[in-house]
Amino acid sequence: MRFHEIADLLHLCQGDLTASDFVLELIDNAMEESIDQNAINPLSERTPRTLQKYLTGENEIQKADAIRIRQFFSNDRFRDYVKSKLTSEMLTSIADKLKPHGFSIAPNAVPSRIANMLESCIITLSEKKRGQKTTPKTSVAMDPVATIKQRPNSSKPTVKLIETVPPDEVDEEKELDYIEALYAIYAEIEGVEFFTKEQLKSHRHHRNHFKRQRRNFYAAEDVREGTWLAYGDSEDNQFHVLKEEVHDCIIDTWEESHQNGMERLRACLKIAGVLESSKCWLCKDTDWIGVRQKQGMCHVLVNDADLEGWVLLSG
């Protein structure tokens, strides 16, 4: 995602600031506070007209400036800045704008998501080769496969995949369905009707299993975000190609009889982890797709209602 697109999502933060001052404020709050002279916002040396072009998308931030910004980039500080500037209604508005791009996130997750987007953007700009455009202006309308095939020097997208650490507290709006499916597994094992997050505290084995599954779910969701950031709207279908590949890979195993839900999940995770997709361009052109991402896709399938869960009445 280009800088001006991220800034446009945050236009409600601009208030009475001029275009140039708004750009400076965004980058000021994306860099660490430091007495190091190199930590000074390099865009402060640019003219107001140049900064305005960054905001409109006419020009991109120069590579040398992006390198300096990246060196002192603070994801946490920018997240806190966004959180402090936007009301709950504004966060909801931004969350709604992200939905058409394949992101169903809670409003309180918006600051972290935007911070990740800006960090990814700065990384891309800092690694841009001479004459290379970060994202074609017609990226939404371009064929995603053609975009990759026409890359002469590298078969990999220029965007780095940012790995998200699962928050301590479960995001119920984002994670509810697949987590309920995991709780159903633990309830079946313990011989109880219901299992809750409070019960995890007294079941170390289940707690460790739960943490691994959340880690894998977030790894898969990072691919969803990275796909959009790298290729724009149209390439998001490659994430869905991968999801369909995982579904087709595990569905027969999922439908088989198993001793319990845990055995069904383990069997599906095992074969998903060794899947070699011939259809998904992400698997061919990036190093993003590993065991965690493929196994996490099993939980994405449950969360997106493509699978019913792991504990079935029929066994």
- φ/ψ (deg, to 5) at 111: -55, -45
**pLDDT of res. 153:** 36
- φ/ψ (deg, to 5) at 31: -115, 150
Q: CA nearest 216: which of 103, 107, 108, 301?
A: 301
Which pTM does this prediction carry? 0.55
What is the distance between the alpha carbons of residues 310 and 262, in angstroms, rounded to a whole number? Answer: 7
Both tokens of residue 82? 């966004």
**pLDDT of res. 147:** 36
**pLDDT of res. 35:** 67
**pLDDT of res. 215:** 95
**pLDDT of res. 291:** 94
Max Cα–Cα distance, the chain, nearest Å: 69
Query: How far is residue 221 CA from its own chain's centroid?
Result: 5
> Cα separations (Å) of 148 from 60, 158, 233, 242?
21, 11, 14, 16
Average pLDDT, consecutive stretches of 10 residues, N- to C-terminus, the chain (315 residues): 88 88 94 75 89 89 89 91 91 83 74 86 76 40 34 48 81 85 95 91 94 95 78 63 91 94 96 85 79 95 89 66
What is the distance between the alpha carbons of residues 200 and 202, in angstroms, rounded to a whole number? Answer: 5
**pLDDT of res. 229:** 67
What is the distance between the alpha carbons of residues 297 and 239, in angstroms, rounded to a whole number? Answer: 10
**pLDDT of res. 138:** 30
Q: Cβ distance 228 to 102 under 8 Å?
A: yes
Burial of 67 from C-beta contacts in 10 A (0-12 / 13-18 / 19+): middle
